[in-house]
Amino acid sequence: MSDTVPGFAELNLPAPVLEAVTELGYETPSPIQAQAIPHLLEGRDVLGTAQTGTGKTAAFALPTLSRLDLALEAPQALVLVPTRELAIQVAEAFQSYARKMKGFHVLPVYGGQGMRDQIRALRRGVHVVVGTPGRLLDHLSRGTLKLDQIRTVVLDEADEMLRMGFIDDVQAILAKAPEARQTALFSATLPKPIQAIIHDYLKDPAEVRVKPSTSSLANIEQRYWLAQGLNKLDALTRLLEVEETDGLIIFVRTRTQTAELAEKLEARGFRAAAINGDMSQALRERTIDQLKDRTIDILIATDVAARGIDVSRVSHVINYDIPYDTEAYTHRIGRTGRAGRSGKAILFVAPRERRMLRSIENATRQKIEPLTLPSRQDVNDKRIEQFKANISETLEQADTSYYTQLIETYLAETGQDPVAVAGALAHIANQGRSLEVKENPAPSEKRAPRERKERPQGERKKAPRDKSARAAHDEALNMETFVINVGRDHDVRPGDIVGAIANEAGIESAYIGRIQLHDSHSTVDLPSGMPEDVYRHLQNIWVRGQKLGLRRQGKHDGYKDGRGERRAAATKRPKKEGHRGKRPAAKKYS
């Protein structure tokens, strides 16, 4: 990206959208965003030739949000995508960009999801519908989706929809949409069937062409870690302890995260500092100088703040948060391996971000190899090795004669074993902290086999279900009850809650206990001792279009829906509470 690219503030986005973009850490538009957003804000049709990973979701989502009438609770924008994964991803992007737009609703629709749930959401009213062509056409044929208020139609990854055989469905949907609408089509390639759609359904489109970066970064070793199970901070800590590093730059998405992560790393003994767009130029330069002169070893940065950094000792770039586009990725990892030197780049990838991983591989023309995280034993071995190395270095380089005399005097006076004294001094030097990372013992989940009893002949063999095993399991885990802001009113099911917590926070399903659904909220049992960063993360994830808002249950928290305890008790009814079969042995909070 060129430094002459205008900022988002110069694109005439409305205040709520601009505020959300700023809060998300977007500081400079990608090329496709800078080119497409002005045309779409003007109401023009747009033809965009761009690969996945160029930032095109924001290119069409931000102007679409800018033109919505939130008072009109009817679909005003329709986004067609080829896969369910992309439908979810695009819908989540809309939700993020609309975080300052009160009352906004977006709905992803795709096959494999219950039709009834989608119909209920459409009846309640949504502003943007994101869906796969087959399911959208199904809703249109049932009359559950109305297009009479549609102002914008977006075809995302049109060539992929063609490849998957959806082109007839796409044309059928476009034929049903109002003629006086805005249409935007994005495609990596333009085969003849796509050109026919452009000719038939786009009116004098503004053309936006963005070539993906294809720079070869042969001198940079690229690896990725699929972020699941262990939380990212603990994974990062293991890497920093075991990897042979010099200077590092760690990239996150937002300015707030730079300060938060720097503080957490400092608390764990690393010399780290934040650098972001809120800093003055003088402070920014001073922080970079600290990295150069080895006062600090780690910079935590946003994309824009790291531009122009050329520090020869940067051996590693770690993408703590995956970038929004491939160009940002190449800029990030270009901070290492400079002037012919070799460098290493590590990328943290959530399961749902694998699509972006593939786009990055295409852009860099390199296969990014999976990374196996260091084990606890690896960390322990490294700490012991470093401890011994520190002793040898001190003996070789430092003048220890004063302390040697003190120890000789102490040994003569007390008759203590010299090795035991050395151990005591090491204990003092490490402030009583062990060098070993202890493995938290996983609670046994094996249930005692039931005693088989002889039954009289003719007696019914089926015994009542024993519910005590689950209760004993939860008690063994020392569970704590939490309240969340989703319930029956939001068409939520226990599986939705389990999936959100397990996938987003890395808490394995074996550690998710009893779930009770109420009208406007639910309760869920989770192991006590939840780390603060996991707790904060779970407060902000989304389920069924609602922020989870996780909080510990207080005396009356279970009934904070305004209906009162009596009504809640009266309406309480037995519900299925998710899978209760055998669960694999698992870890909770690493």
Please report, for the chain, the start and end positions of each structural domain, with discontinuous segments joined by +.
Answer: 8-209, 220-373, 468-571
The pLDDT score that the predictor gives to residue 26 is: 74
pLDDT tens per residue across span 338-367 = 656 789 999 999 887 888 898 888 878 888
Q: Which of 290 and 310 is assigned the larger pLDDT? A: 290
Report residue 47 as tokens.
């033809």
- Segment 297-325 shows an average pLDDT of 85
**This model's pTM is above 0.85:** no
- Segment 125-153 shows an average pLDDT of 95
- How would you write 78-91 as a 3-class SS string? EEECCCHHHHHHHH
- Segment 200-216 shows an average pLDDT of 80
Q: Name the pLDDT band for 52 (thresholds 50, 70, 90).
A: low
The pLDDT score that the predictor gives to residue 197 is: 94
The pLDDT score that the predictor gives to residue 559 is: 37
The pLDDT score that the predictor gives to residue 389 is: 83
* DSSP element (H, E) containing 18: helix 15-23
pLDDT at 269 over 90: no
The percentage of residues in the chain with a pLDDT greater than 70, rounded to a whole number, is: 80
The percentage of residues in the chain with a pLDDT greater than 90, rounded to a whole number, is: 34
pLDDT at 308 over 90: no
Give, in words, the CATH class of 468-571: alpha beta
Q: Name the pLDDT band for 507 (thresholds 50, 70, 90).
A: low
Q: Name the pLDDT band for 568 (thresholds 50, 70, 90).
A: very low
Phi and psi of 385, rounded to 5°?
-60, -45
The pLDDT score that the predictor gives to residue 579 is: 41
Instruction: Give the CATH number of domain 8-209.
Output: 3.40.50.300
Q: Which of 279 and 80 is assigned the larger pLDDT? A: 80
- β-bridge pairing 206-209 and 128-131: unpaired
- Segment 332-336 shows an average pLDDT of 86
By C-alpha distance, which of 340, 341, 323, 322 is closest to 246?
341
Report residue 236 as tokens.
């990062």
Which residues, other chains included, contact 331 with Cβ-Cβ below 8 Å and sequence gap of 6+? 1, 303, 306, 307
Instruction: Give the CATH number of domain 220-373.
Output: 3.40.50.300
How high does pLDDT run on average in the chain? Answer: 80
Same fold, 8-209 and 220-373: yes
